[in-house]
């Protein structure tokens, strides 16, 4: 039996799967007319119409003619065999591994339609891997700053069990994948604008091979398909849809990463951006996102606070260095503020300046003296160097 014959399904369910694969070959991903046609009459009926040249009311004559031209002489069983030869599998809606409702959105939410099928390489179930996932995207021609931030952000997210999704490209994408790989805690997914058996860009072939072997590589294009400009833009919606939120690390004003952020916003996903130098053109897009309502993130904790489990993933409040007066009561601070840096002052003068009684000053000064914050001089009480600018004491009596 030939490989093609072995790959040809026979059951109605398998025939639907094969028809969906065929439609990904003869039409472009994200086609709303094709998706609507499949919803109305089923993938098998749409494929039969395109293959035989019959009328298909759900499709316009132009769309039908273009797809029929591609379908001439084409056998989807060959594509299925090629996919399996590459160690990949075909997923369709209804499969246990399909990412559920995340790949279905209301008509009109995006200018494109959800995928009809997905090709997947890698050992992890796609649905489970993306259930807790974040997209980290950005410029291909990234700066050293952007590469560092993307790698550290991805590593921190992966260490906390969050799958990192990106596009497998140069720059921020590659830095995000590599950062997640170093954590060895959660899978990282590359969503491609070409077939899962095509290494693009060529310079990332080793990275993509490692992801296919140990993590996940995903595409809605059939095996052997090459990338095009339009396919990159449509691919971005898949990155946004698979994840709980999108982080843009570096992006110029016309970066494709901004399209991913726009898609995420349209799908009610979290949109996040990392600020950069105001002089950097590669951070201008991020700053525009921040002005338009994106959440500012600078660490994995910031991201998790937005996309994580309510309460469980809340970030700890960030505080600056502890200052001298942080642990002092209001009364003690007032007395300490009244003590001069130079010269000296008596207890009565300190009480007057602090607005307290002399008895309170007499109670406060000994603990401050013990902690080295004040000292007694022939001219009276004055601050020590520690009292003037040092760190807060462990404890001070608080009258």
Do residues 187 and 163 touch, judged by C-beta distance below 8 A? yes
**Does 110 or 346 have the greater pLDDT score?**
346
> What pLDDT is attached to residue 61?
82
pLDDT(162) > 90:
yes
pLDDT tier at 56 (50, 70, 90 boundaries)? confident
Share of the chain above pLDDT 90, in %: 69
User: How far lies 227's CA from each of 47, 185, 233, 383, in Å?
Assistant: 24, 30, 11, 71
pTM above 0.85, yes or no: no
> What pLDDT is attached to residue 110?
82
Q: Same domain, yes or no, for 45 and 75?
A: yes
370 Cβ contact partners less than 8 Å away, ≥ 6 residues apart: none
User: How far lies 55's CA from each of 23, 46, 111, 232, in Å?
Assistant: 16, 10, 25, 31
Strand 88-91: give its sheet, edge to edge.
Answer: 88-91, 118-121, 216-219, 188-191, 163-166, 133-137, 245-248, 270-273, 295-296
Q: What is the CATH number of the domain that holds 287?
A: 3.40.50.450
Q: Same domain, yes or no, for 77 and 106?
A: no
> What pLDDT is attached to residue 391?
46
Of 84, 118, 143, the one marking the end of a domain is 84
Residues 122-128 have a mean pLDDT of 97
Of 24, 56, 84, the one marking the end of a domain is 84
Do residues 47 and 58 touch, judged by C-beta distance below 8 A? no
Looking at every residue in the chain, the average pLDDT score rounds to: 88
pLDDT tier at 342 (50, 70, 90 boundaries)? confident
> Phi first, then psi: what are they for 30, rounded to 5°?
85, 10
pLDDT tens-place string over residues 76-88: 999 999 999 999 9
User: How far lies 286's CA from each of 143, 278, 290, in Å?
Assistant: 14, 10, 6
Of 222, 160, 201, 191, whose CA–CA distance to 25 is shortest? 222
Token pair listed for 396:
């001070």
Q: Same domain, yes or no, for 157 and 249?
A: yes
Residues 54-67 have a mean pLDDT of 80
- Which residue range is the domain that position 12 belongs to? 3-84
pLDDT(398) > 70:
no
Of 77, 61, 63, 3, whose CA–CA distance to 31 is shortest? 63
> What pLDDT is attached to residue 309?
65
Do residues 250 and 172 touch, judged by C-beta distance below 8 A? yes
Q: Same domain, yes or no, for 68 and 110?
A: no
Q: Same domain, yes or no, for 70 and 174?
A: no
**Rounded to an integer, what distance in angstroms lies between the CA atom of residue 27 and that of residue 206?**
30
**Rounded to an integer, what distance in angstroms lies between the CA atom of residue 125 and that of residue 118?**
12
**Does 175 or 8 have the greater pLDDT score?**
175
pLDDT(6) > 60:
no
Q: Same domain, yes or no, for 142 and 20?
A: no
Residues 286-298 have a mean pLDDT of 97
Q: What is the CATH number of the domain that holds 356?
A: 1.10.10.10
> What pLDDT is attached to residue 226?
94
pLDDT tens-place string over residues 356-390: 999 999 998 998 888 888 899 989 999 988 877 65
- In three-state secondary structure terms, 159 is helix
Token pair listed for 237:
């919606």
Burial call 321-343: b when 16+ CB within 10 Å, e when fewer: eeebeeebeebbebbbebbeeee
Of 71, 75, 74, whose CA–CA distance to 3 is shortest? 75
**Rounded to an integer, what distance in angstroms lies between the CA atom of residue 25 and that of residue 38?**
15
In a domain, 318, yes or no: no
In a domain, 325, yes or no: no
Do residues 194 and 231 touch, judged by C-beta distance below 8 A? yes
In a domain, 105, yes or no: yes
**Rounded to an integer, what distance in angstroms lies between the CA atom of residue 323 and that of residue 213?**
52
**Rounded to an integer, what distance in angstroms lies between the CA atom of residue 156 and that of residue 197?**
29
**Does 308 or 217 have the greater pLDDT score?**
217
**Does 151 or 4 have the greater pLDDT score?**
151
4 Ramachandran zone, left/alpha/beta (phi>0; psi -120 to 50): alpha
Please give the tally of structural domains in the chain: 3
> What pLDDT is attached to residue 392?
44
Q: Same domain, yes or no, for 220 and 111?
A: yes
**Rounded to an integer, what distance in angstroms lies between the CA atom of residue 205 and that of residue 115?**
25
Q: Same domain, yes or no, for 134 and 68?
A: no
Alpha-carbon torsion, ordered 335, 338, 342, 343, to 10 deg: -90
User: How far lies 113's CA from each of 13, 25, 165, 167, 289, in Å?
Assistant: 22, 16, 20, 19, 25
Of 249, 289, 239, 218, whose CA–CA distance to 135 is shortest? 239
């Amino acid at each position: 039996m030939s490989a093609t014959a072995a790959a040809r399904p026979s059951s109605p369910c398998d025939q639907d799967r094969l028809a969906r694969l065929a439609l990904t070959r003869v039409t472009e991903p994200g086609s709303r007319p094709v998706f609507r046609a499949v919803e109305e009459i089923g993938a098998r009926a749409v494929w039969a119409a395109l293959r035989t040249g019959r009328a298909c009311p759900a499709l316009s004559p132009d769309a039908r003619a273009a797809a029929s031209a591609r379908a001439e002489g084409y056998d989807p069983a060959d594509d299925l065999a090629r996919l399996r030869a590459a160690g990949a599998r075909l997923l369709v809606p209804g499969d246990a591994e399909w990412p559920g409702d995340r790949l279905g959105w209301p008509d009109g939410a995006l200018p494109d339609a959800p995928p009809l099928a997905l090709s997947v390489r890698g050992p992890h179930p796609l649905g489970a891997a993306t259930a807790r996932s974040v997209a980290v995207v950005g410029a291909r021609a990234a700066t050293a700053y952007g590469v560092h931030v993307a790698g550290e952000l991805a590593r921190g997210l992966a260490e906390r069990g969050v799958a990192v999704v990106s596009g497998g490209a140069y720059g921020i994408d590659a830095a995000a994948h590599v950062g997640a790989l170093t954590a060895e805690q959660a899978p990282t997914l590359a969503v491609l604008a070409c077939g899962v058996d095509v290494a693009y860009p060529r310079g990332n072939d080793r990275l993509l091979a490692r992801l296919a072997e140990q993590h996940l590589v995903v595409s809605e294009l059939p095996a052997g398909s090459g990338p095009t400009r339009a396919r990159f833009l449509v691919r971005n919606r898949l990155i946004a849809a698979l994840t709980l939120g999108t982080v843009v690390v570096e992006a110029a004003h016309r970066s494709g990463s901004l399209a991913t952020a726009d898609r995420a916003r349209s799908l009610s996903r979290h949109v996040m951006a990392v600020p950069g130098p105001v002089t950097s053109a590669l951070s201008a897009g991020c700053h525009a996102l921040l002005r338009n309502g994106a959440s500012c993130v600078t660490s994995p904790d910031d991201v998790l606070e937005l996309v994580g489990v309510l309460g469980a993933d809340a970030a700890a409040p960030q505080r600056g260095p502890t200052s001298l007066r942080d642990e002092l009561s209001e009364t003690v601070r007032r007395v300490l503020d009244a003590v001069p840096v130079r010269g000296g002052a008596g207890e009565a003068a300190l009480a007057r300046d602090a607005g307290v009684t002399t008895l309170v000053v007499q109670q406060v000064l000994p603990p401050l003296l013990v902690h080295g914050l004040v000292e007694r001089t022939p001219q009276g009480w004055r601050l020590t160097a520690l009292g003037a600018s040092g760190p807060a004491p462990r404890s001070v009596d608080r009258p």
